[in-house]
Amino acid sequence: MAHINLLPWRETRRQQLKRRYLGLLLVSVLAAVVLVVAVEQVLSALVASQQQRNQFLQQQIGEVERRIAEVAEVQRQSDALHQRLDLIVDLQRHRSVPVHLMSELHRVVVPGVYLTELMLQGSTLRLSGFCESNNHLANLLRQVDASPWLFNARVQEIVASRQQSLRQHRFSLSMSLSAQPRPTEEATP
């Protein structure tokens, strides 16, 4: 058998495998580094994109909140205008009430009845005064019942007194005042 020395060949082969292994290891490390850098760049781009979207959404939320505040202000102004309009309508509806009240008082106060005090609170009218007899006061109450503007008359008090040899009756009565005239019996068919 011939002796062939395979040691140099094996040594050469081992060095080739070692270089190949180190080369593959170096390529793998470089590939891993490139992959990590690429993934980091992609993730950074995604984070930056999401931050831009968040910033855009924050701007839009701020704009919507500003508009909501404007709508609330407009609603407040609208409510104030509606209150003013309601007040104006109410004043328009009741602006002729004092004229009708004075006209009706002139019509219902009969001779022999003298008014000393007139007080209107809301729709309640309070009258105080003197009358020469209870019949005059009864006539006044009948006139009030027939009035389209006055109703629900109630006598609060009647006090008889003598002043300067005249017999007078001090009275106090209350009644309701209508904002619109009631239909009278003559107007109904």
Band of the pLDDT at 188, cuts 50, 70, 90?
very low
pLDDT one-digit tens code per residue, 93-127? 777 778 878 888 888 888 888 889 988 887 888 99
Average pLDDT over residues 6-22: 86
Residue 111 included in any domain: yes
Using pLDDT thresholds of 50, 70 and 90, give the confidence band for residue 176.
confident
The pTM assigned to this predicted structure is 0.50
Mean pLDDT of the region 75-95: 89
With respect to residue 132, please indicate whether it lies within any of the assigned structural domains.
Answer: yes
Query: How high is the pLDDT of residue 164?
Result: 63
Query: Are 87 and 123 spatial neighbours (Cβ–Cβ below 8 Å)?
Result: no
Residue, of 142 and 95, whose pLDDT is higher: 142
Q: What is the mean pLDDT of residues 146-154?
A: 84
- 177 pLDDT exceeds 90? no
pLDDT of residue 140: 86
In the prediction, which pLDDT does 187 show?
45
Q: Are residues 16 and 91 in the same domain?
A: yes
CA 170 from chain centre, in angstroms, equals 51
Indicate whether 73 and 115 sit together in one domain: no
Q: Is residue 28 part of a domain?
A: yes
Q: What spatial distance separates the first Cα and last Cα of the chain, rounded to whole Å?
A: 153
Tokens of 60: 């839009």
Give just the sign of the alpha carbon dihedral 80, 85, 91, 94.
negative
Alpha-carbon span 176 to 116, nearest angstrom: 19
- What's the total number of domains in the chain? 2
Those residues with Cβ within 8 angstroms of residue 133's Cβ, 6 or more apart along the chain or in another chain: 112, 167, 169
For the chain, give the mean pLDDT: 86
Residue 43 lies in a domain: yes
Domain assignment present for 159: yes
Name the domain boundary from 95, 111, 146: 95
pLDDT value for 52: 96
104 shares its domain with 150: yes
Q: Within this chain, do residues 64 and 109 fall inside the same structural domain, yes or no?
A: no
Where does the pLDDT of residue 71 fall: very low under 50, low under 70, confident under 90, or very high at 90 and above?
A: very high
Is residue 157 domain-resident?
yes
Average pLDDT of 123-146?
Answer: 87
The DSSP 8-state label assigned to residue 161 in this structure reads E
| CA-closest candidate to residue 134, choices 98, 177, 170 | 170
Q: Are 112 and 132 in contact (CB under 8 A)?
A: yes
Note whether 176 and 125 are within 8 A (CB). yes
Domain ranges, residue 164: 97-177
Q: Is residue 188 domain-resident?
A: no
Distance from C-alpha of 163 to C-alpha of 132, rounded to nearest angstrom: 11
**What's residue 53's pLDDT?**
96
What phi and psi, each to the nearest 5 degrees, are found at residue 31? -65, -40
Q: If you average pLDDT over residues 1-22, what whole number do you get? A: 82
Helix 97-108 / helix 134-146 crossing angle, nearest 10 deg: 140
Rounded CA gap, 131 and 108, in Å?
14
Which pLDDT score, from 0 to 100, does residue 39 have? 96
Burial class (CB in 10 A: 0-12, 13-18, 19+), 149: buried
pLDDT of residue 1: 59
Last residue of a domain, one of 74, 95, 116: 95
Q: What is the CATH number of the domain that holds 126?
A: 3.30.1360.100
Q: Is residue 184 part of a domain?
A: no
Same-domain check for residues 16 and 84: yes
